[in-house]
Amino acid sequence: MEIKFLDLQKINLQHQEEIENQIVETFRSGWYLLGDKTKTFEKNLAEYIGAKHVIGIANGLDALRLIIRGYLELGIFQKNDEIIVPANTYIASLLAISDNQLIPVLVEPNPENHNIDVDKIEAAITPKTKAIMTVHLYGQVSYNEQLKEIAEKHNLKIIEDNAQAIGAEFKGIKTGNLGDASGFSFYPGKNLGALGDGGAVSTNDDVLAATIRALANYGSTKKYVNDYLGLNSRLDEIQAAILDAKLKYLDLDNQKRREIAKRYSSEISNPKIELPTLPQNEKSHVWHLFVVKTKDREALQKHLEAHAIQSIIHYPIPPHKQTCYSELNGLTFPITENLCQEVLSIPISQVMTEEEVSFVIQALNQF
């Protein structure tokens, strides 16, 4: 038996007829950008998460970049302001900040869930701090009442990096509608994935939404009239149509992932392997990734490979140790650095069979 880390072909073939119909319909329409397919998906996603506005963007990084750029254009942020961000995150979270000439200020994660440690945020706030970028890492909500209170106390914006947790909830409110603005990624491997790149911004702020929509379209609100030095970052009609076809299945897909996570948590019993904690409220986690920890990761990965089970490291090098952030290389974040040495993501998806899940569990227990 061969277990792929994520069988994208199988995931998308579940919806083959609907996806193919949407592609053909879009092809025949003759309209491929900023059309009805994108408007429909934006409307349906906004209704799904409960937000007032959704703007389709070319990719998840651009979604975060444009939120910050929007606040810059509105005078809410200034260049060289600071944004607090988890030290344990994918590098895109930081790139969105530094690309806008703001400064990322890193905060260690909570060792229990690997999300930003809210207890450590206030110590990182300075007079130049303007926002907290909270990353819902691995699919688990990183927002809570304490985070909200800190932001309100210090007059900070909350930007959600929601690349991994679409469909997760905090007290009945979905990610993407918890902070002031949120960036989504629809990279093919996400829980809601396109057949190429795609992203979105959500917000309840009318002015910010209008600004971002213009910025993403060459800075234009009217053809050939440019109010901003904008970008070209638009979700195309084909990807929007595909995403809309798959959106209606998202909750069911996420629930299947939760069921696999429950099996892993109850049936993996190897003392050499540390498992993630199941949250009290299962809806707060959509299990984009199931990340285990072990002191001997290389041996575990080789063991899984010998059993034809794919695994991936999320992430082997923290952002502050990347060459592109040489100015941060001297910083030390022991919890983050330790995670990068020990974490390993094992297969989890809505198309895994019970037999495949059992095979992964057996292999891990035999390590």
DSSP notation for 182-198: EEEE--TTSSS--SS--
pTM of the model: 0.97
pLDDT of residue 328: 98
And the tokens for 93?
């979270």
83-109 pLDDT, tens digit per residue, is: 999 999 999 999 999 999 999 999 999
How confident is the model at residue 130, as a pLDDT? 98
Phi and psi, residue 10, nearest 5°: -65, -40
Structure tokens at 314: 């999320």
d(CA 170, CA 173): 5
Q: Looking at residue 200, what is its pLDDT?
A: 99
The pLDDT assigned to 17 comes to: 98
The reported pLDDT for the residue numbered 215 is 98
- The share of the chain scoring above pLDDT 70, in percent, equals 100
269, β-bridge pairs:
none
User: By C-alpha distance, which of 365, 319, 311, 364 is closest to 340?
Assistant: 319
Name the nearest CA neighbour of 165 among 206, 115, 208: 115
Distance in angstroms (rounded) separating the CA atoms of residues 247 and 243: 6
Q: Give the residues of the chain that fall short of pLDDT 70.
A: none
